[in-house]
A and B are shown apart, each in its own frame.
Chain A
Amino acid sequence: MNHPFLQALETIYPPDRLLTRDVELLPYESDGLTAFQSKPGAVVLPIDEAEIIATVRLCHEHTVPFLARGSGTSLSGGSLPIPDGLVIALNRLNRIKRIDPQQRIAVVEPGVINLHITEAAQPYNLYYAPDPSSQSICTIGGNIAFNSGGAHCLKYGMTSNHVLGMKVVLADGAVTQFGSESIEGVGIGPDLIGLFVGSEGLFGIALEITLRLMPQPELYRTVLAAYNDLGAAGDAVSLVVASGLLPGAIEIMDRLAIKAAEASVKAGYPDAEALLIVELEGEALQVEAEFAQLQDLIQTSGAFEMRVARSEEERARIWKGRKGAFSAVGRLSPDFIVQDGVVPRGRLGEALMAIDKLKTKYGLDVANVFHAGDGNLHPLILYDGREAGALERAEALAGEILALCVSLGGSITGEHGIGMEKRDYLPTMFSEEEIDIMQALRRAIDPNEIANRGKMFPGGDAPALKQQGLHPLERQGVISRE
């Protein structure tokens, strides 16, 4: 990292918030996609938006690439540092500035942890809806960059659908704001929130975010159904959808994922080829009536066992196994890659059968955990990084799964983003002209291409080295992958 740039940083940051020694940089070298790592030139720890703005302007002036980082839980390598670039770590901007229960909004800084917003809103019977599996550690800034989802997206959408207003610093240092405290958000004029959310950190940094809060549902009703084959579980999803019910979540786990969850959190799941979790939520009278209908449907769907959560504890146990399934897979295999493809719901069965064939072809195990309600697959490809060529085979298998999703009319990513991991697959979804237009848009906002350089678009430098094993935080069970 060049000297004048570092000197300029020293005018903004005291020594304890400007990290340059190898040992200090180490924790920032990778994110939730553990197969990659790279070393930044420096890390800064701003404590307010003025420092962020000054830092971005400095990066622009010196053409130094930067990465805005929250907790580094990205599963697509989206928060992988740019080699010798700057990491702007936002964890200290963690203030919830305001909870306004009358307007049902929260105004927060980017480093606030997702779950902390729900905790702050709880006294008013409100909550923040998007619930990525890493919600106890991931930050809103990261959720915004990647339009994070979760198990409960079917009904109320992803992060983008819950952002009403933002103040941002663009990659060239311009500061702008858009949206409002109305649930209409931007409402008049182009929906800039929709454009900024999910831009993977390529446009700039969110400084202040106004979020929509939702009323806590009066009642949840959760059912767990066990099947002798994965196809039957998939058919049950179609039955539920065709019935006119609109569940808050519809999830499926296959045998290997169940085994992992059992080994890890002992959720007490039945021994089955596939488990289906369906959850209804809302006003008690309505939910009770719908739940009766749901149970009838599942009875006819060929489930050999059905369990109904009778208490909040039982509901929590059902979800604990599901939400912990990914890190649990770490017990079965030294390494794994998580995929995030989407297929039309009606082609889930086809997709799962094709993945099964690919397993045999590559001689690797794949566990499946997925948001069946919106066709969002999360195949976990297990491999042993110590074995020569295993990572390459796993990556090749992952690539075939992505191509499969696109060929079935879906997407290469439902909620993890393109990041570093899938940038070479962007052309499978968009034409050269479409990618050119996106690139031109990026350059109109970031002429030096410094904001999260090397992500989303194909080509570019390959900064990544290979590494084995879980993320250190994952090993401690602090974060998990969804």
Chain B
Amino acid sequence: MTPTAIATSAELSDFLRENERVHVQGNGSKTALHSANGAALADLKALSGVLEYEPSEYTITIGAGTPVSHVSAALAEKGQYLPFDPLLADRATIGGTVAANLSGSRRFRYGGIRDFILGARVVDGLGRAFRVGGKVVKNAAGFDLSKFLVGSLGQYAIMTELTFKVFPDAPRFRSLRLDYPTLPDLLAAISFINQSVFELDALDFAPAAKGWSLMARLAGSSATLPPRIERFSQTLRRESAPSDIVELDETATLWDPLAELTGGTVVKVVLPPRQIPEFDRSLGETRRRYSIGGNLAWLATADLAALHTSLRQMGLPGLCLLGAVESAPIGAPLENELAARVKSVLDPLAKLV
């Protein structure tokens, strides 16, 4: 179906009133989320632009259709960043990033989208336009529906405008790769790091040609980074006995967890670290990268049905992002009583799909 370009919140309200089933997209970058069989398609790319930005307030308000790259560039000019580190930063819109709840590896340091969203303007399934949350960094008034919308996949209300808390970014970064012979060796190293004083900017890992590689990143000033990285390296060498430690070039794709996940359906899996050994055994040759200290896995699978079954058995939810699929959520079911109550208020006619 040809998408209808939406330029204002009022147009979106009308569109929702006029159509029986509505699916929304930004840039359509998460291909697996847009198999909206027969629903009228709304394109929100035109709801774009930085609407308010006060660097001294640590807040930014942007149109939901704004490309993530524009937001990041505007923030970078003032030395700030989105600490949740939006995924697919080269192609996604900010609204799509929030609706799908896709944070990148740097989310490890300060938190995910839910920790930085402050408020939103939305249009619900009845076409009602309203505000949720606030615009200041701290606000406890009313129900916090802005956090609820994180991960809501466009099924409760459509965000047209978003306000985030932002932080000053570090001027410099350095990354190390620590190699371990086995997964348990690597997990023991993470366990040590988790109770140590080191404050890492990111912590990912993946199987390597031989054994496993842990990737760690430190952020800070050019004066303090060299001694900090030295100390981290020495401590980990002493405490976790890696087979090798190598400094990595800070290339553009080094901290893109999806960069090497080509071929197959790309899936996000929310994972308690203690389930990693069991989960990893179930994956066979599936390409994978574990992120945020092993609390999240990104996979590229050739056998989605098998993955669905094993996730369900382990009680883990997954979300397909890239690829052609019938249903994006897989694994443990998402149905929830509280979510159903919210749906009955915001989208009682079940228009939003």
Q: Is the CB of B337 within 8 A of A376?
A: no
Find residues 322-353 in chain B having any chain A CB closer than 8 Å to their own CB: 329, 334, 336-339, 341-342, 344-346
Query: How many cross-chain pairs have Cβ atoms below 8 Å apart between A and B?
Result: 270
Interface string of A368-412 (1 = CB under 8 A from B): 000100111000000000000000000000000000000001111
Find residues 146-161 in chain B having any chain A CB closer than 8 Å to their own CB: 146-153, 155-156
Residues of B within 8 A of A191 (CB): 101, 114, 147-152
Contact A190:B273 (CB < 8 A) given known A284-B197, A411-B141: no
Bound CA span A245–B56, Å: 12
Contact A192:B148 (CB < 8 A) given known A149-B138, A246-B167, A286-B220: yes
Q: Is the CB of B341 within 8 A of A441?
A: yes
Bound CA span A194–B101, Å: 13
Bound CA span A245–B337, Å: 43
Q: For the complex formed, measure the closest distance between the CB of B208 and the CB atoms of chain A, giving whole angstroms.
A: 23
Bound CA span A286–B200, Å: 12
| Residue A189, interface by CB 8 Å | yes
Bound CA span A199–B150, Å: 17
| Residue A50, interface by CB 8 Å | no
Of A15-23, A98-106, A312-320, A327-335, the one contacting chain B is: A98-106
Contact A190:B337 (CB < 8 A) given known A199-B143, A246-B168, A375-B137: no
Find residues 204-235 in chain A having any chain B CB closer than 8 Å to their own CB: 215-218
Return the chain B residue nearest A411 by Cβ.
B139
Find residues 66-95 in chain A having any chain B CB closer than 8 Å to their own CB: none
Find residues 46-68 in chain B having any chain A CB closer than 8 Å to their own CB: 54-59
Q: Is the CB of A218 within 8 A of B197?
A: yes
Contact A456:B142 (CB < 8 A) given known A215-B195, A241-B58, A242-B56: yes
Q: Is the CB of A444 within 8 A of B136?
A: no
Residues of B within 8 A of A444 (CB): 341-342, 344-345
Bound CA span A161–B220, Å: 24
Q: Is the CB of A437 within 8 A of B345?
A: yes
Contact A125:B147 (CB < 8 A) given known A285-B227, A433-B128: no
Contact A182:B271 (CB < 8 A) given known A125-B195, A286-B220, A444-B345: yes
Contact A194:B136 (CB < 8 A) given known A180-B272, A285-B224, A441-B143: no
Contact A147:B339 (CB < 8 A) given known A194-B150, A345-B57, A431-B130: no
Of A261-269, A352-360, A414-422, the one contacting chain B is: A414-422
Residues of B within 8 A of A433 (CB): 128, 130
Bound CA span A155–B166, Å: 10
- Identify A411's interface contact among B112, B131, B136, CB under 8 A: B136
Interface string of B175-203 (1 = CB under 8 A from A): 00000000000000001001111110000
Find residues 112-132 in chain A having any chain B CB closer than 8 Å to their own CB: 124-126
| Residue A296, interface by CB 8 Å | no
- Identify A195's interface contact among B115, B130, B167, B342, CB under 8 A: B342
Residues of B within 8 A of A185 (CB): 112, 114
Q: Is the CB of A429 within 8 A of B142?
A: yes
Contact A147:B144 (CB < 8 A) given known A101-B195, A189-B336: yes
Q: Is the CB of A437 within 8 A of B130?
A: yes
Contact A346:B221 (CB < 8 A) given known A102-B191, A245-B168, A418-B142: no
Return the chain A residue nearest B316 by Cβ.
A180
Q: B: which residues have CB within 8 A of A?
A: 54-59, 79, 101, 103, 110-112, 114-115, 124, 128, 130-132, 134-153, 155-156, 167-168, 191, 194-199, 220-221, 223-224, 227-228, 231, 268, 270-274, 292-293, 295-296, 317-319, 329, 334, 336-339, 341-342, 344-346
19 contacts between A and B (CB under 8 A): A102-B194, A182-B270, A188-B101, A188-B268, A189-B339, A190-B339, A191-B151, A192-B338, A195-B145, A198-B144, A283-B198, A286-B221, A344-B136, A411-B136, A434-B130, A437-B346, A441-B145, A444-B342, A444-B344
